[in-house]
């Protein structure tokens, strides 16, 4: 069974940093591109970014570029999202997703909750 | 950015009804359109990708169609377990989601 389990969500102050992790199981992690998607308290969904199979290529949504970094450790079957200089607008549930084909997100984790507030 | 507009925002229907959800793009997205279902308290789930390809394990009562800027998700016979919010998602250019259609039982 494909499983994605996020962790690391918490309350963080504006301007602070946070790193989310997503541990994958039930499939060969290194064969898949992986994406992050977030959902705001108002329930809007936003695609954040993606990383290719070996971690050598990443793409980010313009709204978070240069503040967030996606990385992966294939030996640990783990995906990461490093968040820096966070803003109140970054408050959301962050989902780790597997992409079966480019941008076809066929498996989702349960989400990690991030709240940015002083 | 390509804007995705879903309509209606809320839809009430009865069990057994044929239901159609709409998604309109601000420009041609060349059929790069996915549909996701999100039930209360759960993560979104892929239903259909690239306009009309049914994801493995999804019931055949779900189908998708469209081209250019206009796309639809159809449920041929609504079931109680289909109560959810449905999101469209374009990936012709920088990926963007629609605002969702909340499907309720009448």
How would you write the pLDDT of chain B (106 residues) with one tens digit per residue?
Answer: 899 999 999 999 999 999 999 999 999 999 999 999 999 999 999 999 999 999 999 999 999 999 999 999 999 999 999 999 999 999 999 999 999 999 999 9
- pLDDT reported for residue B40: 96
**B-chain residue closest to A102, CA distance:** B91
SS3 A22: strand
Q: Do A109 and B100 touch (CB under 8 A)?
A: no
Chain A: give the shortest CA distance to residue B46, in Å.
Answer: 6
Q: How confident is the model at residue A50 (pLDDT cuts 50, 70, 90)?
A: very high
Q: Do B46 and A102 touch (CB under 8 A)?
A: no
Q: Tell me, yes or no, if B8 comes closer than 8 A to chain A by beta carbon.
A: no
pLDDT above 90: residue A83? yes
Residues from chain A contacting residue B45 (CB–CB below 8 Å):
108
pLDDT above 90: residue A102? no
Tokens in use for A30?
Answer: 């290194």
Q: Do B100 and A106 touch (CB under 8 A)?
A: no
Q: How confident is the model at residue A79 (pLDDT cuts 50, 70, 90)?
A: very high
- pLDDT reported for residue A101: 86
Q: Tell me, yes or no, if B100 comes closer than 8 A to chain A by beta carbon.
A: yes
- CA neighbor of A98 nearest in space, from A33, A45, A49: A33
Are the CB atoms for A66 and A58 separated by under 8 Å?
no
Tokens in use for A37?
Answer: 């998607």
| Torsion angle of C-alpha atoms B8, B12, B18, B23, degrees rounded to 10 | 20
CB pairs under 8 A between A and B: 49
Q: What percent of chain A has pLDDT over 70?
A: 100
- pLDDT reported for residue A65: 76
Residues from chain B contacting residue A95 (CB–CB below 8 Å):
43-44
Chain A: give the shortest CA distance to residue B57, in Å.
Answer: 11
Q: Tell me, yes or no, if B9 comes closer than 8 A to chain A by beta carbon.
A: no
The sheet with strand B4-7 has its strands ordered as B4-7, B19-25, B70-75, B62-67
Q: What percent of chain A has pLDDT over 90?
A: 92
- pLDDT reported for residue A82: 98
Q: Tell me, yes or no, if B46 comes closer than 8 A to chain A by beta carbon.
A: yes
């Amino acid at each position: 069974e494909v499983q994605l389990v996020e962790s690391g969500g918490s309350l963080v102050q504006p301007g602070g940093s946070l790193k989310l992790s997503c541990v994958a199981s039930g499939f060969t992690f290194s064969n898949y591109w992986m994406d992050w998607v977030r959902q705001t308290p108002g329930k809007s969904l936003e695609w954040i970014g993606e990383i290719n199979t070996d971690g050598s290529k990443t793409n980010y949504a313009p709204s978070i570029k240069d503040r967030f970094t996606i990385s992966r450790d294939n030996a640990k079957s783990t995906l990461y999202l490093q968040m820096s200089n966070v803003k109140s607008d970054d408050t959301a549930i962050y989902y780790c997703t597997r992409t079966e084909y480019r941008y076809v997100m066929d498996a989702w984790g349960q989400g990690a909750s991030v709240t940015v507030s002083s | 950015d390509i804007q995705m507009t879903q309509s209606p925002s809320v839809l009430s229907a009865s069990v057994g009804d044929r239901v159609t959800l709409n998604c309109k793009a601000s420009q041609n997205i060349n059929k790069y359109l996915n549909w996701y279902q999100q039930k209360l308290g759960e993560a979104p789930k892929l239903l259909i990708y690239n306009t009309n390809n049914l994801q493995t394990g999804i019931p055949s009562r779900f189908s998708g169609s469209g081209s250019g800027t206009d796309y639809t998700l159809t449920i041929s016979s609504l079931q109680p377990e289909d109560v959810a919010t449905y999101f469209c998602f374009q990936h012709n250019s920088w990926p963007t989601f629609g605002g969702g259609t909340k499907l309720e039982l009448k």
